[in-house]
């Protein structure tokens, strides 16, 4: 019952944003409840939207945990300075990439626009590559690094699949 209420609420948010965009362009509209305006279907993916939200929350925790682990490794182990700078730079680059990816993914999904969603898909591949770096190629990899990076890679994989499905729905 709770998932049906959540789905209805998210669909209402999607419908509100779609109506604002689509009424101007004259394409598909969602029923907005205003003076009987109704039309075909809403193509935005509620499951992709929920996954993007969860990914944003998880990435905030991932960023903080990875930053704290890098500080811990630099204090406890002998961590060469150039590699410390590299790991911190890649972590900050990954943060910028994730914020951009989540913004474009959300915008593309809610407005049913293929281009922002496709750019978000490309950025998802870049984020997955950086997650793989922190999983396999980082100077010192702790078990916690492995667990956090594996979970982030799983989220990226699910998002990529749902983004491809949403792009295919928007194009058709």
> Could you give the angle at which helices 143-171 and 46-76 cross, rounded to 10 degrees?
160
Q: How far apart are the C-alpha atoms of 30 and 17, rounded to whole Å?
A: 9
Both 57 and 29 in a single domain?
no
- Please state the domain count of the chain: 2
Domain shared by 67 and 35, yes or no: no
Are residue 159 and residue 130 in the same domain, yes or no? yes
Q: Cα(59)–Cα(130) distance, rounded to whole angstroms?
A: 13
> What are the pLDDT digits (tens) for 5-58?
555 545 555 454 444 444 444 444 444 444 444 446 778 889 999 999 999 999
Q: Are residues 12 and 56 in the same domain?
A: no
The predicted pLDDT at position 41 comes to 76
**Residues 115 and 69 reside in one and the same domain:** yes
- What was the pLDDT predicted at 11? 54
Q: Are 131 and 155 in contact (CB under 8 A)?
A: no
Q: Are residues 49 and 99 in the same domain?
A: yes
Q: Has residue 107 got a pLDDT over 50?
A: yes
Would you say the pTM of this structure is higher than 0.85?
no
Read off the tokens for 2: 């709770």
Sign of CA dihedral 130, 133, 139, 140: positive
Which structural domain, as residue segments, surrounds residue 138? 44-171
Whether 36 and 75 map to the same domain: the answer is no
Asked whether residue 31 falls in the same domain as residue 58, the answer is no
Q: Answer yes or no: do 16 and 99 share one domain.
A: no
Whether residues 87 and 136 fall in one domain: yes
Neighbour-count burial for 20-58, b at 16+ CB within 10 Å, e otherwise: eebeeeeeebbebeeeeeeeeebbbbbebbebbeebbee
């Amino acid at each position: 019952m709770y998932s049906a209420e959540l789905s209805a609420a998210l669909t209402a948010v999607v419908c509100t944003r779609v109506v604002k965009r689509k009424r101007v362009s004259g394409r598909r509209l969602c029923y907005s409840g205003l003076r009987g305006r109704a039309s075909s279907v809403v193509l935005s993916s509620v499951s992709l939207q929920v996954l993007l939200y969860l990914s944003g929350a998880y990435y905030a925790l991932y960023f903080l945990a990875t930053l704290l682990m890098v500080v811990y490794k630099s204090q406890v182990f002998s961590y060469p300075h150039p590699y410390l700078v590299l790991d911190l730079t890649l972590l900050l680059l990954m943060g910028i990439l994730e914020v951009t990816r989540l913004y474009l993914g959300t915008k593309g999904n809610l407005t049913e626009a293929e281009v922002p969603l496709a750019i978000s898909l490309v950025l998802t591949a870049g984020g997955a590559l950086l997650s793989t770096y922190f999983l396999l190629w980082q100077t010192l990899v702790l078990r916690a690094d492995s667990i956090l990076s594996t979970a982030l890679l799983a989220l990226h994989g699910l998002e990529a699949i749902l983004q491809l499905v949403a792009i295919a729905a928007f194009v058709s």
